[in-house]
Amino acid sequence: MIFGTRPEAIKMAPLIKEFIKKTEEFDTKVCVTAQHRQMLDQVLDFFEITPDYDLDLMKPDQDLYSLTADIITKLKPVLNEFRPDYVYVHGDTTTSMAASIAAFYSGAKICHIEAGLRTNNKRSPFPEEINRQITGRIADFHFAPTDASRNNLLRENVNVNDILVTGNTVIDALVESVTKVNTLQNDEINQLKNTIDRSRKIILVTGHRRENHGKGFVNICVALKEIAHEHTDVQIIYPVHLNPNVKGPVYEILSGIQNINLIEPLSYPAFVWLMDQAYLIITDSGGVQEEAPSLGKPVLVMRDSTERPEAVAAGTVILVGTDKERIVDETRLLLVDTTRYEKMSGLHNPYGDGKASYRIVEFMARQN
């Protein structure tokens, strides 16, 4: 299992646990590229995963060229030593794409988790759309979260027998964690309880997409500032991604506003707890778009297109792009129009039932 960033770790954790249950059938090893460092370690700690190999690659403000080259080069000795039959990669990060190339060179078969998501716009999300297309081209087995993602793969002539619709493992992680967070003694959750003013509506914000760096993030921040001033009865809580291209504008534009709390990235359980407290979520995250429908939280997605159309169809998600007026207007509508709010906040589970990892392991057991 090779992964490197926070969301990959969250979504691979349930699968690792499922494989480890079957030690007689599978010899499982975990390799992290550590494309993320602190944000990855938060997840490894919570899910109690100790990697067998840690490439420790993250560099401050890293670029795609050196990251890609480093991943491929540093995986060579790991793959030569362990000689896996199968390499599991997840989703669409640079780790997923580069690890699948390295795994292919090693002769292993490649299993792609969260396969088949597409916008078919190679610049949005950037570079993820091309990362997942390359990974999909190399993969031997494709674990698609939904029928729509399966159909995308069929359109690309992937053999129907190599695809399994599983649901998204993010829901496996969520189901396990939602029950845990209510009883967990967690300092971050205790701290959040002191930060949150329960008499106000909580708007939870996250963002990091590379195509939004620069002008996009400036627009997003100006919109959030306007929302905070117009609606003094809301509290905006924003765990800010550690990417300097995000932290820079966010702290510059939004520091010191009375009803905006800029905080460090939260550990997964604290974030799940906070999502559950939120009235509304504004994000450009992929994972959050998948989690929010299961918690019945409306989401405004700060992107022009999404590879996750299921929640849009279910009515939980609205695409608002990074247009300042659009973000402010849609937020206002959800704050004042209770009918609209209730329509969007119905519970939906388009991304799974919490058993995706089980299905993947059962499928792989049949390959041996």
Q: Which residue among 8, 18, 92, 188 is the active-site one?
A: 92
Provide CB contacts within 8 A for 257, sequence distance 6+.
Answer: 225, 228, 229
Tokens 């929302």 sit on residue: 227
Spell out, one character per residue from 3 to 42, where the chain touches ligand UDP: x when CB under 6 A holds, - when not: ---xx--x--------------------------------
Q: Which does 193 bind (CB under 5 to 8 A by kind): ligand UDP, ligand UD1, none?
A: none
**CA–CA separation, 359 and 141 (whole Å):** 13
DSSP 233: T
Tokens 């990362």 sit on residue: 131
- In the residue annotation, 208 being an active-site residue is answered as yes
Tokens 């599991």 sit on residue: 88
Q: Name which position in 285, 316, 322, 345 contacts ligand UDP (CB under 6 A).
A: 285
Nearer to ligand UD1, 65 or 198 (CB): 65
- In the residue annotation, 92 being an active-site residue is answered as yes
Neighbour-count burial for 36-70, b at 16+ CB within 10 Å, e otherwise? bbebbbbbbebbebebebbbebbeeeeeeeebbeb
**Closest CB 288 distance from ligand UDP, rounded Å:** 5
Q: Which does 10 bind (CB under 5 to 8 A by kind): ligand UDP, ligand UD1, none?
A: ligand UDP
In the region spanning residues 151 to 170, those forming contacts with ligand UDP, defined by CB under 6 A, are: 170
Q: Which does 266 bind (CB under 5 to 8 A by kind): ligand UD1, ligand UDP, none?
A: ligand UDP
DSSP 283: E
- In the residue annotation, 348 being an active-site residue is answered as no
Phi-psi region of 120 (alpha: psi -120 to 50; beta: other; left: phi over 0): left
**Closest CB 366 distance from ligand UDP, rounded Å:** 29
Strand partners, 89: 112
What the block records as the tokens of 106 is 């090693």
Provide CB contacts within 8 A for 248, sequence distance 6+.
Answer: none
Q: Which does 61 bind (CB under 5 to 8 A by kind): ligand UDP, ligand UD1, none?
A: ligand UD1
**Closest CB 367 distance from ligand UDP, rounded Å:** 28
What the block records as the tokens of 196 is 């949150």
Cα→Cα distances 181→110, 196, 266, 269, 325, Å: 34, 17, 13, 6, 36
65 binds ligand UD1, rule: CB under 6 A: no
**CA–CA separation, 148 and 158 (whole Å):** 14
DSSP 161: G
Q: Which does 12 bind (CB under 5 to 8 A by kind): ligand UDP, ligand UD1, none?
A: none
Strand partners, 144: 165
Nearer to ligand UDP, 79 or 303 (CB): 303
Q: Which does 350 bind (CB under 5 to 8 A by kind): ligand UD1, ligand UDP, none?
A: none
Q: Which residue among 210, 326, 332, 340 is the active-site one?
A: 210
What residue ranges in 34-132 does DSSP mark as E strands?
A: 53-54, 86-90, 109-113
Stretch that binds ligand UD1, among 56-64, 254-262, 268-276, 360-368 (CB under 6 A): 56-64
In the region spanning residues 72 to 131, those forming contacts with ligand UD1, defined by CB under 6 A, are: 92-94, 127-128
**CA–CA separation, 99 and 87 (whole Å):** 9
The residues annotated as belonging to the active site are: 92, 114, 128, 208, 210, 241
Q: Which residues bind to ligand UD1, rule: CB under 6 A?
A: 5-7, 35-39, 58-62, 64, 67, 92-94, 127-128, 208, 242-244
Q: Which residues bind to ligand UDP, rule: CB under 6 A?
A: 6-7, 10, 170, 206, 208, 239, 265-266, 268, 271, 285-288, 291
